[in-house]
Amino acid sequence: GVPEKQTAKPTVTLRDDGLYDILSRTALLDEDLPEAAIVKCLLGIPKANYNVSHQTVYYP
């Protein structure tokens, strides 16, 4: 399988309504992925006891 890849420090922006936007990016090459790759994103904020995940299937 494809190894896990962590991104650099995410960009965190405080919005006018007091909530936060968090942007995190990574890059993978199509040739490094299998025919169909499950891409998973996990976000955890320990101090808020908050965790969320999202996944999608990517076809190069």
Q: Domain containing 18: what range?
A: 11-58
Look at residue 33 and tell me if it is in a domain.
yes
Backbone angles phi, psi at 16, to 5 degrees: -60, -25
Q: What pLDDT, on a 0 to 100 scale, did the predictor assign at position 1? A: 59
Instruction: State how many domains the chain has.
Output: 1
Look at residue 4 and tell me if it is in a domain.
no
Look at residue 38 and tell me if it is in a domain.
yes
Look at residue 5 and tell me if it is in a domain.
no
> How many alpha carbons lie under 13 Å from residue 3 in its C-beta half-sphere?
3
What is the C-alpha radius of gyration for the chain, rounded to an integer number of angstroms?
14
Q: What pLDDT, on a 0 to 100 scale, did the predictor assign at position 3? A: 63
Q: What is the pLDDT of residues 3-60, one digit of tens each?
A: 677 677 889 999 999 999 999 888 888 888 888 888 888 888 889 899 999 999 998 8
pLDDT of 2 higher than 70: no
Look at residue 2 and tell me if it is in a domain.
no
Q: What pLDDT, on a 0 to 100 scale, did the predictor assign at position 8? A: 75
How many Å apart are CA 24 and CA 8, to the nearest integer?
Answer: 8
